[in-house]
Structure 1
Amino acid sequence: MDIRDIFAINLKKFRRAAGLSQEELAHRADIDRTYVSLLERRNYSATIDVVAKLAEALGIEPDLLLKLPPKGSK
């Protein structure tokens, strides 16, 4: 599993746990909704600035988006 996979899994997990749609998360992070979708589908890699914006919008520390999830998580 590469870092893009890890980020995508964690982003989707934390977004859903917060009860946010991709659109609402994008609005809170001041990025485009389609970009959130592309990140979750592993089509794009996020810059460190985008990781920070998304973490802030989710109310979590940025490192949580980059940590290897437990086996079996998706």
Structure 2
Amino acid sequence: MDIKTAFGMAVKVKRVECRLSQEQLANGADMARSFISRVERGTANPSVSSVMKIAATLRCVPSELWLRAEAYLEDK
């Protein structure tokens, strides 16, 4: 697993915990749903501002998403 895949997993798990659809997350972050889908699959390379918008919509700080991603990487 690479960091983009781990970050995508972190976003998806947090989104599901928040009971948001990809569409709701995308709308809240002012992004396309297809971009959110690519982030969650680990095929997109989100910018710092994109990560900030995603985290804000998920009502967390970006570091929470990164810490989850790091934990997924450690669990390989």
When the two structures are superposed, what TM-score results if normalisation uses the length of structure 1? 0.88
Q: How many positions carry a matched residue from both structures? A: 72
What amino acid maps onto 1:46 in structure 2? P
Structure number with higher helix proportion: 2
The answer for unaligned runs of 5 or more in structure 1 is none
Name the SS of the counterpart of 2:71 in structure 1. Answer: coil
When the two structures are superposed, what TM-score results if normalisation uses the length of structure 2? 0.86
1:36-55 Cα offsets, whole Å, 9 max, x none, are: 00111111111100000000
**Where does structure 1 differ by over 2 angstroms across 4 or more consecutive aligned residues?**
69-72
- What is the deviation of 1:2? 2.6
- What is the deviation of 1:69? 2.6
CA RMSD of aligned residues (A): 1.3
The answer for unaligned runs of 5 or more in structure 2 is none
Q: Alignment identity in percent?
A: 33
- What is the deviation of 1:13? 0.5
